[in-house]
Amino acid sequence: MSEINTDLIMRVLEQDVDGKRFWDARPPTARLIRGRIESVLDWARVRGYRDADKLNPATWCGHIDKMLPATSKVHTVSHHDALPFDQLAGFMNALRHASLSVRKLLSSSF
Model confidence pLDDT, tens digit, residues 9-68? 999 999 999 999 999 999 999 999 999 999 999 999 999 999 988 899 999 999 999 999
pLDDT at 105 over 70: no
pLDDT confidence of residue 34: 97
H/E element holding 16? strand 16-17
Residue with the larger pLDDT of the pair 100 and 83? 83
pLDDT at 96 over 90: no
String of b and e for 71-110 (b: at least 16 CB within 10 Å)?
beebbeeeeeeeeeeeeeeeeeeeeeeeeeeeeeeeeeee
pLDDT confidence of residue 41: 96
